[in-house]
Amino acid sequence: MLEVYEAYSDCQGMMHLAEGLIVSLVQGLCGKTVITYQGKQIDFTPPWQRVSFEELVKDKFDILPGDDEAAMLKKLKAKGFAKEVNRLSRTQIAKIIEEVLEEGMGLNPTFITDYFTSMCPLAKTKKGYPLISERFELYAAGLEIGNAYSELNDPLEQRKRFEEEIKELKGLEEKNLDDDYCLALEHGMPPAGGLGIGMDRLVMLLTDQASIRDVILFPLLRPAQE
């Protein structure tokens, strides 16, 4: 994992940074921005495509940003997903949605933007649109490569979101409020962008490996004789 925070930046700054870092890496290693992965071409030539999560889930599931978890689950069931489940947290619903979307994701790098605020407890909301957060996830070849936010630095808002998340998860899983994190924010955090890049998955693409087990530094599940 590569994890980066930049003071006085935001989600857009992290998008520019991620694109620049990865394009530079691909060009430096391969001498070009088009590579072959598992017999198929991936074109890293910038600018990369931007796709709205809000629009994707509306088209695919008829789910809207203001829906609560019960409404989301009902709509998922109507589309043939999670049929045997009576209750899910928003995090679990988001995972189902993302798994379905990943299956239809193209090969070329794509920024998925406009995530629901209810699914992004650590991200700032978009100005004038509180139901959507300043966040993106980066995909290539159907793999999630990166994740980034405009970091939420308001301690009161952060505590409120933690409390709402704990309330929502009651009966599904135990989660404690992170008082230390909220206290740190109270001491003062500048506006910032945060970015995480999954280096193992990136190495998979650049070395044409089908399994992450062939590139991770300490492969815990590799048979001893190998």
Residue 63 lies in a domain: yes
Q: Are residues 27 and 62 in the same domain?
A: no
Q: Are residues 20 and 58 in the same domain?
A: no
What pLDDT does residue 198 have?
A: 93
Quick one: the chain helix, strand, coil %, rounded to 5?
A: 40, 25, 35
Task: Tell me the average pLDDT of the chain.
Answer: 91
Helix (H) or strand (E) holding 75: helix 69-78
Report, as an integer, the average pLDDT of 188-212.
94
Residue 86 lies in a domain: yes
Q: Are residues 113 and 92 in the same domain?
A: yes
What pLDDT does residue 216 have?
A: 85
Q: Are residues 52 and 98 in the same domain?
A: yes
Q: Could you identify the residue written with the tokens 């994701």?
A: 105
* pLDDT digit string, tens, across residues 78-107: 999 888 888 887 788 888 888 888 877 889
Q: Are residues 115 and 77 in the same domain?
A: yes
Q: Which residues contact 188 (CB under 8 A, 6 or more apart)?
A: none
Q: Could you identify the residue written with the tokens 């009576």?
A: 86
* pLDDT digit string, tens, across residues 209-224: 999 888 987 766 656 6
Residue 55 lies in a domain: yes
Residue 206 lies in a domain: no
Q: Are residues 24 and 55 in the same domain?
A: no
Q: Are residues 11 and 60 in the same domain?
A: no
Helices (H) and strands (E) in the chain, counts: 7, 10
Residue 207 lies in a domain: no
Range of the domain at 109: 48-133
Overall domain count for the chain:
2
98 closest CA partner among 44, 48, 142: 142
Cα distance between the two ends of the chain: 25
Q: How confident is the model at residue 1 (pLDDT cuts 50, 70, 90)?
A: confident
SS3 per residue for 167-178 = HHHCCCCCCCCC
What pLDDT does residue 106 have?
A: 87
Residue 187 lies in a domain: no
Q: What is the pTM of this model?
A: 0.89
Q: How confident is the model at residue 66 (pLDDT cuts 50, 70, 90)?
A: very high
Least trusted range by pLDDT, from 47-56, 79-88, 131-140:
79-88
Q: Is 1 exposed, middle or buried (0-12, 13-18, 19+ CB in 10 A)?
A: exposed
What pLDDT does residue 83 have?
A: 81
